[in-house]
Structure 1
């Protein structure tokens, strides 16, 4: 009887958690007045087209969302999920699929379309992640080349995120399209990469990335994302497309892995 009671309580707690999630999601829906059109597309693999207008608002189709949502407008939903799951059901029932995280790169390459070489390239090699030293920063060796044109805020940038499930990639799980302000998007969303590669020496005061070769040699990099506090754990493939007007200059790819931050599991 004791085991049956525990099982029944587990089921009730699970149902209560889903009810709380439903209520929290409804509250967010009412607050944003337009997020409902993008909740399901975010999780079902449809495009989320972000028209970035730095300094004021980011227009998201018919919804007007604050700039804080510029990268991933579902952050508040993920936070609600994390808060629910931290308590769990009898310890560790459903608290291991997302939360505060560490990420590290596994492979860098390019995705040039139609075998056409693009002027901006990267050739990078990352050190292996050491599970015995989870807080140790990853090291990178290689170079990033910006050729012909500077990378500035007149450029657009599109970030396509693929997820790994059942030994295959689910393409276009998230698509973030900044139709301008590529420089600022990199600076504010991937500050570790920005600081390590581009902002050194005579570039410190620049508001663009000059055409040149940016090199690193076994240097540490902090893969932190200040605008994304929690994400589902797993394998990701990021495709980074950059260009200006109708011209595409780069198509970079990085395979990465997201794991629980030490002390969070």
Structure 2
């Protein structure tokens, strides 16, 4: 393919991707999955002859948690307190897990009566693009969180069952262990710099009773 045609093709594909990534994604599905049109664009870019000469922008990945941020105290209503620190990511040994230490105080049971709202911002052009992905779960918050991040759930809520009914009792949970940040139900994802905000509440009430933010990077997984 002529160089001019390759460049023209890449620009067209990039424009279509930007249109998709700006579109908020809302889902009631138990798994967090990309939309069908999004998958089609990923496939075109990954398999096209022009893409063979440039790094793929999405695919198997490694998640790096750079920092955990505190939500606005007023927004969280003081119902859940999370203090967490993640160790530095070892780029020379990507398979080495980050260690997380800290504690979480649960003032009300975290179970499947809890709804969850996850908003993911994308860093681009030195600013955050708000709500690139918006995921709403009207119930089963505990089960969804456990399925989405099983390793983190196991470390943070030690002793809580990983199968069957999901319920985290009231209490203080202290942790200091390595965590596998992989998301088993999301095998591929666009590489980039993200800020994820997770809110939760009970029943039909819109009062936020748990809130946490995670700044992270998604990088290609070594073969």
Q: Which residue of structure 2 lines up, in the alignment, with residue 250 of structure 1?
A: 210
Q: 1:86 to 1:216 in 2, by over 3 A?
A: farther
Q: 1:81 aligns with which of 42, 61, 65?
A: 42
TM-score by length of 1: 0.71
Q: 1:49 aligns with which of 26, 50, 62?
A: 26
Q: Which has the larger radius of gyration?
A: 1
Distance in 2 (CA, whole Å) between partners of 1:49 and 1:256 is 21
Q: 1:130 to 1:175 in 2, by over 3 A?
A: same
SS in 1 for 2:153: helix
Q: Which residue of structure 1 lines up, in the alignment, with residue 219 of structure 2?
A: 259
CA RMSD of aligned residues (A): 2.9
Q: Which has the higher strand share?
A: 2
TM-score by length of 2: 0.83
Contact 1:75-1:228 within 8 A present in 2 as well: no
Q: Which runs of 5+ in 1 are unaligned?
A: 23-39, 53-57, 59-66
Contact 1:112-1:118 within 8 A present in 2 as well: no
Q: 1:103 to 1:88 in 2, by over 3 A?
A: farther
Contact 1:100-1:231 within 8 A present in 2 as well: yes
Q: Is the counterpart of residue 101 in structure 1 residue 79 in structure 2?
A: no
**Displacement, 1:75?**
6.3
Q: 1:108 to 1:90 in 2, by over 3 A?
A: closer
Number of residue pairs matched by the alignment = 217
Q: Which runs of 5+ in 2 are unaligned?
A: none
Q: Which residue of structure 1 lines up, in the alignment, with residue 33 of structure 2?
A: 72
Q: Is the counterpart of residue 110 in structure 1 residue 70 in structure 2?
A: yes
Q: Is the counterpart of residue 214 in structure 1 residue 173 in structure 2?
A: yes
Q: 1:251 to 1:114 in 2, by over 3 A?
A: same
Distance in 1 (CA, whole Å) between partners of 2:3 and 2:150 is 46
Distance in 2 (CA, whole Å) between partners of 1:185 and 1:192 is 13
**Displacement, 1:139?**
0.6
